[in-house]
């Protein structure tokens, strides 16, 4: 039996839980809690430990998706989650440039741990205030060879596309 895992990370409220929920075959075991701090009162619930999704390939192979909590005080979970991952997805809310610095921080932190493949998903592209991809690439300081894909977490097809593109880039790297 082979278990592999992909980590879904990104700033607070980027759409990580929704991303996993859209593709997981089991109900996402999440750990949502009521938000306490006023500063982050964008919504009433946030993830406090991790989201957890599963996609069974066959009797031999299962893909697990782990979503990191978005709030800073749970940073310690990153290193734990990143152990043994196949790759990671950085979700960014395209409508909230004020979170781009945090996205850069997450990206650079994960990138420094290990040579793990990653992909950046420009989420909430369905909203009118969404930045376009070219501007986001520059603002997030992504080199030309980093994959940046448009995403709408509630739309399963775009979620699939993000994951497949990540896996394809892993194939390329294996050579």
Partner 1 sequence: MALKGNLTDFPILQILNLVNLAQKTGTLVINHQDLVSLITFRNGKLTYAQYGGEDGSLVAVLYRAKKLTKNQAQLIHQKAAEISDKQLGLMLVNARYLSQAEILTCLQEYYLSIVKRFFAKAEGVFEFVADRMPPAVKITVKLDLENVIIEGTRQMRELEVLQEEIPSLEMAVKFKDRQGMDIRNLQLSVQEWQVVKYITPKNTIRQIARANHMNDLEIRRVIYTLLQAGIVEMVRVAGTPKIDLSTAIPNQTKKEQRSIINRLINRLKTA
Binding site for ligand GTP (CB under 6 A): 10, 12-18, 43, 46-47, 69-70, 123-124, 126-127, 152-154
How big is the CA angle at 66 (ends 89 and 107), to the nearest 5 degrees?
35
Enumerate binding residues for partner 1 (CB under 8 A): 2, 4-5, 23, 55, 57-58, 61, 63, 83-87, 95-102, 104-105, 108-109, 111-112, 114-117, 128-132, 134-135, 138-139, 141, 143, 156, 160, 163-164, 167-168, 170-171, 173-175
Judged by beta carbon, residue 31 or residue 167, the one nearer partner 1 is 167
Q: Are 20 and 8 in contact (CB under 8 A)?
A: yes
Q: Which residues contact 15 (CB under 8 A, 6 or more apart)?
A: 91, 93, 123, 124, 151, 153
Query: Does 22 contact Mg ion by CB under 5 A?
Result: no
Judged by beta carbon, residue 21 or residue 149, the one nearer Mg ion is 21
Judged by beta carbon, residue 67 or residue 87, the one nearer partner 1 is 87
Task: Give the tokens for residue 38.
Answer: 């006023």
Judged by beta carbon, residue 33 or residue 160, the one nearer partner 1 is 160
Q: Are 17 and 53 in contact (CB under 8 A)?
A: no
> First CA to last CA across the chain, in angstroms?
24
């Amino acid at each position: 039996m082979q278990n592999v895992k992909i980590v879904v990370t990104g700033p607070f409220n980027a759409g990580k839980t929704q991303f996993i929920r859209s593709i997981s075959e089991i109900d996402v075991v999440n750990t949502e809690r009521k938000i306490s701090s006023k500063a982050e009162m964008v919504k009433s619930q946030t993830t406090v430990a991790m989201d957890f999704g599963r996609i069974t390939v066959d009797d031999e192979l299962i893909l697990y998706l782990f979503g990191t909590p978005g709030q800073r005080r749970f940073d310690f979970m990153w290193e734990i989650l990143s152990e043994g991952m196949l790759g990671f997805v950085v979700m960014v809310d395209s409508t909230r440039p004020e979170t781009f610095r945090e996205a850069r921080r997450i990206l650079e932190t994960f990138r420094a741990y290990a040579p793990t493949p990653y992909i950046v998903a420009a989420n909430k592209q369905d909203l009118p205030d969404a930045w376009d991809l070219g501007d986001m690439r520059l603002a997030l300081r992504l080199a030309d060879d980093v994959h940046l894909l448009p995403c709408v977490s509630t739309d399963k097809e775009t979620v699939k596309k993000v994951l497949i593109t990540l896996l394809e880039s892993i194939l390329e790297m294996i050579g």
